[in-house]
Amino acid sequence: MLSTSTYYEIVRPNVKNFIKSLRDLGYTFEIAVADILDNSISAGAKTINIYADKNPEMIMSLLDDGLGMNEAELIEAMRLGSKDPDEERMKNDLGRFGMGLKTASFSQCKKITVISKKEGTLSAKQWDLDFVENSEEWQLITPSLNIIKELPLFDELDNLDHGTIVVWESIDAFQPDAFIEIINGLRDHLSLVFHRFLEGDIKGKKINIFVNGNPLLPFDPFNEKNNATQWLPEQKIKFNNSSIRIQPVILPHHSKMSRQEYDKYATTEGYTKSQGFYLYREGRLLIHGTWWGLHKVSDAHRLVRIKIDATNDQDYLWNIDVKKSTASPNKDIRTELKKILDQVLERGSRPYTGRGRKIEDKTTTRFWDIAHSEDEITFSINKKHPLLFQLLNVLEDNQIEILNAYFKGLEAYLPLAAIQSHMMTEPHKIKQESKFSKEEIRDLAIKLKALNLDDLDINEFLKTEIFKHHKELLKDGY
């Protein structure tokens, strides 16, 4: 029965269920580690060392030489929701919710220890989710010096004037047999996400990152060093007293790159999935390879990548989640991006489609014809090719009928899907022209000369794809 007066009672959350929910926010290992690095960069770190090992148990330790924290600051950093997401932050602060350190860590392990050094004094705190679950209280542990001295990279921190270690123990987010693959994926992810910091592109924020002693090299997804990369005019979207910089980029056609370079900038996801917007906040890559529903993924635009530079006071425009791995621009931003996109896409398709138009070059007699109509495009064997003309002159009618049937089969069953797929993923492996060696072309020229062709016939052969670059083989003194 309801009381006539209002009263209150404390209803504590079920700690066990709450922990399970907290651990299931969708982090991957590399996204979680990147979230920890954000704190290091915000703390002014210049060097970050990451140590990971699967023996005797899965463990990761991350050491930075940032400002460090005293005990009171460390306790606050370990608090869930330690920041007001609406609070104005310092420029270049990569955090927002005050959750990243905890949620990223809990997603990968059940025990997180943070050791920090400031003004010569060490402080250490630890969350042990098994302990929290058993006690049903969020009790923050202060581990003893003897315990923390055994943790990886402690000696390195002890030799620094200031810095912080974050240690994940008994990682259970993936199986040990996937360890090498996970670490390689981590290296690739950090090289991309923090490439502008590794390059020194962010003023005063040049950093060095090492994974198990090996330095990370930056991976710039816009291939800036290639002269064939097209940088379209930068545009700005202005909101209130700030602006968002938009830089459209068109990557080089594969003919302008070596096979190694082409494969590198395809990324592990491939060019088609890597097209789209690349959203940076304070130089840190948050989202990449998406059109946010403003455009459909298209092979014709597989070389288009659009860099967006936003500041940390514009988060409300992007709806960035706690993991900093998903975002959705608001209605006003989407409208402005669509205007810019419409200008970019037509030009962005040229490096892809421009190569295809070469087959319609009227100065060359080709083996294949392309027929365009309003409803269809068909590829047909050129029945007026001079080589075919010479062949038909020596065949009987019944042989010509069989040959024409063979041609129709070639045309009807041209493996377009396979051709398109390999052109998208492995263009440098396609070596069709190598099927016709120069020795075979020379032998063909000898046979054609033996037919005593007149000058008109020879000129027709000189226009063909076979002899266009081997004219000296067919016509003496040419």
Average pLDDT over residues 417-424: 73
Average pLDDT over residues 71-80: 92
> Rounded distance, CA 54 to CA 149, Å?
19
Write down all domains in the chain, each with its CATH number in brackets.
15-215 (3.30.565.10), 230-354 (3.30.230), 361-474 (no CATH)
> Rounded distance, CA 418 to CA 21, Å?
44
The pLDDT tens digits of the residues spanning 111-126 come to: 999 999 999 999 999 9
Q: What are phi and psi of 473, to 5 degrees?
A: -75, -30
Report the run of H or E that residue 278 belongs to, with start and end. strand 276-281
For residues 420-450, b (16+ Cβ closer than 10 Å) or e, as one string?
eeebbeebeeeeeeeeeeeeebeebbeebee
- Lowest-pLDDT choice from 97-101, 157-161, 225-229: 97-101
- Is residue 435 pLDDT above 80, yes or no? no
The pLDDT tens digits of the residues spanning 334-367 come to: 999 998 998 888 776 666 555 444 445 567 888 8
Mean of the per-residue pLDDT values for the chain? 86
> Rounded distance, CA 205 to CA 367, Å?
57
User: Cβ-count burial of 112 within 10 angstroms (0-12 exposed, 13-18 middle, 19+ buried)?
Assistant: buried
User: Cβ-count burial of 256 within 10 angstroms (0-12 exposed, 13-18 middle, 19+ buried)?
Assistant: middle
Per-residue pLDDT band at 135 (split at 50, 70, 90): confident
- Distance from the Cα of residue 216 to its chain's centroid: 16
The pLDDT tens digits of the residues spanning 190-242 come to: 999 999 999 998 888 899 999 999 999 999 999 999 999 999 989 998 877 78
> Measuring CA to CA, how many Å separate 418 from each of 254, 359, 427, 440?
18, 19, 12, 27
Share of the chain above pLDDT 90, in %: 45
DSSP, res 214: E
- Is residue 89 pLDDT above 70, yes or no? no
DSSP 374-412: SS-EEEEE-TT-HHHHHHHHTS-HHHHHHHHHHHHHHHH
Q: Is residue 130 within 8 Å of 23, Cβ to Cβ?
A: no
